[in-house]
Amino acid sequence: MGANRLIKGETGLERFPEVAVKEVELKRELDTYVADLHIHTVLSPCANVEMIPPLIVQTALEKGINLIAITDHNASANVSAVQKAAARASLTVLPGMELQTREEVHLLCLFDTPEQLAAWQAMVDARLPDLENDVEFFGEQFVVNETGEFIRREHRLLSVSVDFSLREAVTEVTRLGGIVIPAHIDRQAYSLVANLGLLPTDVSFEALEISRFTSPAEAYRRFPQIGQIPLIQNGDAHSLDELLGTTIFRLAFPSVAELRLALLNAGNRSFFVQSG
């Protein structure tokens, strides 16, 4: 694809000048990606025990989903296992995390490479409170392999706010080459809108996420403060039946840079949310 450079001009990416993305061939043939970019595994204490790599991959394929992101709470130890489980399938697994900020806002943090995610995880670990997980109250936090076999328990509590402000988190994830999407803004808990009311003026978002219970049209009507920021819909899947696949992307290949172009409807890339 050529050397890295900044995509500028009319793509809208000039709002993020610190992000170097691969040079894109704007006339390249595009593929359709049915996506759910918010999926939990058994590492998240609130996820069902069925959320193991082979069953996540199998369910995604059965539902016609070919692009997912694994986004456990403040953790990423099961991402590689899901990627290995999907290695021979027509399914791309983006590495990710659902971060809980100091403001108790949930953010989807998506990356392209394990190295980017590992760097981000190290930063999160350094600011994660050193609290023991109460299994009876919060639930188990299992690290598993690609077949779903038990490796170990994560003993640190993951369902807690990390000492990152919203602005700090967006800055650091973007610096690493990732993308940040505030999660389930239509919910009454752990959402950007519910917790802050107005969108912060010192942070730019390339997209916002809505839950399965709200359509884009309804979200724009209910939350006029979000303006015309693009909206995607994900399952926030904690059980297999919650995988959704209603956000459809047209991309040259599945990557953070391509997602950015699609969210901007730039370079012939595009996306839409499919109504139920």
Question: Span 111-138, mean pLDDT?
Answer: 97
Query: What pLDDT is attached to residue 219?
Result: 97
| 215-244 residue pLDDT tens | 999 999 999 999 999 999 999 999 999 999
The answer to whether the beta carbons of residues 182 and 101 sit under 8 Å apart is: no
What topology is assigned to 30-273 in CATH? TIM Barrel (3.20.20)
Lowest mean pLDDT segment, chosen from 18-22, 55-59, 113-117: 18-22
Phi/psi at 94 (nearest 5 deg)? -85, 140
> Does the structure show a pLDDT above 60 at 182?
yes
User: ∠ CA(35), CA(219), CA(69), 5° rounding?
Assistant: 20
Average pLDDT taken over every residue of the chain: 91
Query: What pLDDT is attached to residue 28?
Result: 76
Phi/psi at 157 (nearest 5 deg)? -65, 125
Name the band, by pLDDT with cuts 50, 70 and 90, for residue 10: very low
Using alpha carbons, list the distances in angstroms from residue 212 to 4, 60, 142, 234: 36, 16, 26, 7
- 137: which residues sit within 8 A by CB, 6+ positions away? none
Name the band, by pLDDT with cuts 50, 70 and 90, for residue 275: confident
Query: What pLDDT is attached to residue 276?
Result: 62
Query: What pLDDT is attached to residue 66?
Result: 98
User: What predicted TM-score, i.e. pTM, was given to this entire model?
Assistant: 0.91
CA dihedral angle for residue 111, residue 114, residue 119, residue 122, rounded to 10 degrees:
110
Tokens 């699609």 belong to residue: 262
| 40-83 residue pLDDT tens | 999 999 999 999 999 999 999 999 999 999 999 999 999 999 99
d(CA 142, CA 150): 7
Name the band, by pLDDT with cuts 50, 70 and 90, for residue 162: very high
Tokens 């193991």 belong to residue: 52
d(CA 245, CA 32): 12
Query: What pLDDT is attached to residue 24?
Result: 46
> Does the structure show a pLDDT above 80 at 6?
no
User: Domain ranges in the chain?
Assistant: 30-273
Question: Span 157-167, mean pLDDT?
Answer: 98
The answer to whether the beta carbons of residues 71 and 96 sit under 8 Å apart is: yes
Query: What pLDDT is attached to residue 11?
Result: 41
